[in-house]
Every structure is written in structure tokens, then in C-alpha cells.
Amino acid sequence: MSAWQVFEVQILPTSPLQLGDESTVGSFQSTGDRIPGAVLRGAVAEHLMAHCSQPEYVTDHHRCPDRADCPFWQVFGGEREPLFGFAYPGRRGPAYPFPLTARTCKLYAGYEANDGRVHHGVYDLLLDRFFYELVTDPRFPAREALLPELGRDWPRLQRVPEERCPLCGGPLARPVGTYAVGADGVPGDAGTLPVRRVVHVGINRARGVAEDGLLFVQEIIEPAREGFAFYARVAVPQTEVDLLRPYLDGARYVVGRGRSRGLGAVEVAIRREGASSPDLQTRLADFQRAARAVRRFYAEQDPRIGLDTAGTLFSLTLRSPAIFERYGRPLLVPTPAMLGLPPEVRLVRAWARPETVGGWNAAAGLPRRTRLAARAGGVYLFWVPPSVDRSALMDCLNRLEVEGIGRERARGYGQVTVCAPFHVHNRLGATERSQR
């Protein structure tokens, strides 16, 4: 039996929300578009501590004489803590940030939606760009292992015109926001976050009237509009499932800013239990078929390029920012050894961008120190030689998808999807050739 139970949690706003973990300078205060895992984790911890029988030890749990019977200590004091993932807004269901390999038409951006506008879809460049660089660059990493027939040759091959929209020929740009995954596992439109701006005026404390020049604007997220909700994945150790379930299913919390003004009320419910759909075996097989289709496109141009890739390719796509450190120095790209992968596995391509993350430590009443992280949506592509045991590889990939990668995983950092269906269903090369 697995050591973890995975829950898909729905967070439904019942009052306006104002999210964010950075101080605002000036007269405009924006809201975040996601709920960090630390926010839900802190809300659950606060409710668990409400049952504390020794309030004098609230700030010193290790010395508490009743910690063995304390619900808070049973959940957060063990060797394995629950892993609270980042929550993203969606209308169809779970939503995820767009990978850095995603592109959309710059003129008619986004998926098809019932909003009366024209959209030319969203596409993915992961496999098409990887194989083009592999077959044309003699210095590409792992080329001698993946394409020994080419050696150091520099062939000139036709390339799928990835920089143009396959429908109108316009330029492509990176999409902004999130995409949804339906019950069939096909990516689609997640909708637009319902945000409105509220104008306030500062009050003169001496006279009790509006002060000239003190207007300020705040963004808030509308509650339960158009079926919107936030969705997150929470992994709970099997030994703590029964204890934590009441705090994830039917519980009510207050999150974000402006709590004294009635903002931030949410209801949390368990939407589904178990692993994501489709399962990992299916996603890995679909990824290999898509890679074989891209390779066939170049094999038709040069007979030295075989139809099949020796070994296995798999991708890790970040669903939340990831914090990597090696010898005390921050990294954007982890090594296979840092992820606990077999030593034969090689990282062959990475798409990563930096981001500064921080937050607020409610227990200490202090801000957390900022750290450099890889932005959500980063993609890491790995190659596994045929000599690696298949069952050992699957165990590693299942562990990475449940437990995440990098540091601060209990606060939601480092959540990944192995062979995300987005890279297969939205592959630009297949779309481009189907339009010809």
C-alpha cells in the first residue's frame, strides 16, 4: 500500500479574496492569482492548534507534555508532514500554469471559449524543439547516445515553422495564466479570473473626513462567480488521513488579506481521492508515441535517423515554483542525482526561469526570507538508457509526482507532473502538419 493518500481539494471563495505575499508600494494594490500551499497549510494548522489543551506551549511544541495526544503534533510533528500544493483557479476543474514550452497566437490568443472572441489555440514546443536541436546540433547533450548514426555531422533538415501560428501564420507568444484539464484529460480553457478593482479614499484622522490625494485602488477576486474555484493537490501520509480529513472536507477558513474587512472566507472540500487521471503508465506511453512521431518526421528526411529512440524519454513539468540548492547555492536546473533518479539517467533539455519567493510566517509573526526559485511551468526533459530497470524507474517517477522535488515541499513548492498530457495533446508539430 502507498505511504501517501492524494486528495484533489476544491477551495471555493464565499467572500471576495485579496491574495498576495508581497508588500505593495504606491496607491495600487494588486491581487495574486493563486493560493500558495503555505496559506492552506497555515489555515489548517491554526484550526488544529485551537484544540490545544496546553496553550502555554503553543510556541514550544517540543516541550509540551501532552504532545502525543495533540492533533497539531500528530499532523505536523512526525517525520512526514502533509504536502499542501498550490491552488490555481479554474472553471472546468483543476487548473495548472502554462509550461514555459507553451505558445499561443499573438493576435488571437488562448483556447476556444464561449466568449464571442476568436482564439487560435495553445501549442507546445517541447518535443518538436528538442528533436530539431538533437538532429541538427552535433554538440547537443546525449546526442552520441541518442543518435549514434549521425556522429558529429551537421545535417540540414526541414524544420516545423514553430514560430508561426498554424492557423493564421501570425507570430507566437507565451500564454499567460492557467489551463484546465477536463475529465477526459484533454487540456482546455480555464476561464478568466473574475477580478474587479475597488477604489478607497484615505480618511484624515484629525478631522474624520476624506483626505485630498489619498485615493488608492485594490484588486479583489469575486466569490463563486461563473463556477470559479481554486483547486489544489494535498498528499497526506496514510497514518494521518483520518485525522486530517475533517479539515479538508467541509471546513471553512479565512485566507489572504483584508480579513478584518470581511475578505478571504473560503470553503474547502475534497473533490476526488487518488492519483491523477490518466495514470502515469498511460502518460508515459503517450509521451513515447508522440516522441516517435516527431522523430519519424526527421527520419523521413535522413535515413540515418532511426524511427525509434533507444531508451525512454520523460518530462517533469513544474506545477508550482521549485527551490533547488546545491552546496548552499541556488539552482534553476536540478541534477538527476538531486532528484534521486538512477545514476544512468541524463538531463537532456531544460526550460527554466527564475522567480523570487517568500511569504509570511504566521507562527513567528515575521516575513520569511526570500529565496530564488524556478518559476512554475518549468520543464525538464530526461533520457533513460535501456539498461535501467523499468520498475525502478516507475517507482522513482511515482515518488517524484507525489512528494515533489527540491526544498520546502510541505509548503507546496516543487510539485511536478510527469509527462504532462499538455505536451502531447497540444504538440505544435502535429497541428502544423494537419493544417497542410
Helix and strand element counts for the chain (H, E): 9, 25
Confidence of residue 378 (pLDDT cuts 50, 70, 90): very high
b/e map 300-328, b = 16+ CB within 10 Å = eeeeebeeebebbbbbbbbbbbbbbeeee
Contact present, 402 and 6 (Cβ < 8 Å): yes
Residue in 250, 267, 249, 229 with CA at minimum distance from that of residue 92: 229
Grid coordinates belonging to 29: 494594490
Confidence of residue 24 (pLDDT cuts 50, 70, 90): low
Residue in 155, 432, 414, 418 with CA at minimum distance from that of residue 305: 155
How many Å apart are CA 254 and CA 119, to the nearest integer? 37
Q: 10 to each of 60, 142, 250, 277, 337, how far by Cα in Å?
A: 32, 42, 10, 17, 34
What is the average pLDDT across 11-24? 80
Q: Look at residue 160 in the predicted model and tell me its pLDDT.
A: 67
**Within a 10 A sphere around the Cβ of 178, how many other Cβ atoms?**
22
Q: 82 to each of 75, 161, 249, 360, how far by Cα in Å?
A: 7, 45, 15, 19
Q: Return the higher-pLDDT residue of 272 and 113.
A: 272
Q: Return the higher-pLDDT residue of 370 and 68.
A: 370
Residue in 194, 225, 191 with CA at minimum distance from that of residue 90: 191
- pLDDT reading at 429 higher than 70: no
Question: What is the phi-psi region of residue 262: left when phi exceeds 0, alpha when psi lies from -120 to 50, beta otherwise?
Answer: left
Q: Which residue has the cell 490545544?
A: 52
What is the average pLDDT across 276-302? 88
Confidence of residue 284 (pLDDT cuts 50, 70, 90): very high
Torsion angle of C-alpha atoms 418, 422, 426, 429, degrees rounded to 10: -20
How many Å apart are CA 299 and CA 293, to the nearest integer? 10
Grid coordinates belonging to 58: 503553543
Contact present, 346 and 336 (Cβ < 8 Å): yes
Strand partners, 57: none
Q: Look at residue 25 in the predicted model and tell me its pLDDT.
A: 62
Confidence of residue 57 (pLDDT cuts 50, 70, 90): low
For 57-61, 209-213, 240-244, 306-310, which range has the lowest pLDDT when averaged over its residues? 57-61
**Within a 10 A sphere around the Cβ of 379, how many other Cβ atoms?**
25
Grid coordinates belonging to 36: 500558495
Strand partners, 268: 11, 251
Q: Look at residue 55 in the predicted model and tell me its pLDDT.
A: 72
What is the average pLDDT across 116-128? 88
How many Å apart are CA 180 and CA 88, to the nearest integer? 10
Confidence of residue 435 (pLDDT cuts 50, 70, 90): very low
Q: What is the pLDDT of the chain when averaged over all its residues?
A: 86
How many Å apart are CA 300 and CA 140, to the nearest integer? 21
Confidence of residue 112 (pLDDT cuts 50, 70, 90): confident
Residue in 99, 16, 59 with CA at minimum distance from that of residue 416: 99
Q: What percent of the chain stands above pLDDT 70? A: 92
For 252-274, what is each residue's pLDDT tens digit?
999 988 888 888 899 999 988 87
Q: What percent of the chain stands above pLDDT 90? A: 43
How many Å apart are CA 275 and CA 179, to the nearest integer? 19
For 386-424, what is each residue's pLDDT tens digit?
999 999 999 999 999 999 999 999 999 999 999 999 999
Q: Look at residue 399 in the predicted model and tell me its pLDDT.
A: 94
- pLDDT reading at 151 higher than 80: no
**Within a 10 A sphere around the Cβ of 361, how many other Cβ atoms?**
13
What is the average pLDDT across 239-246? 89
**What is the CATH code for 126-161+278-434?**
2.60.40.4350
| Residue 278 preceded by cis peptide, ω within 30 | yes
Domain residue limits, the chain: 4-93+191-195+221-273, 126-161+278-434
- Hey, which bits of 15-81 come out as E strands? 28-29
Grid coordinates belonging to 366: 515575521
Q: Look at residue 436 in the predicted model and tell me its pLDDT.
A: 40
For 70-106, what is each residue's pLDDT tens digit?
778 878 877 788 999 999 998 878 899 999 999 999 8
**Within a 10 A sphere around the Cβ of 426, how many other Cβ atoms?**
26
- pLDDT reading at 361 higher than 60: yes
Residue in 264, 271, 234, 267 with CA at minimum distance from that of residue 252: 267
What is the average pLDDT across 177-183? 85
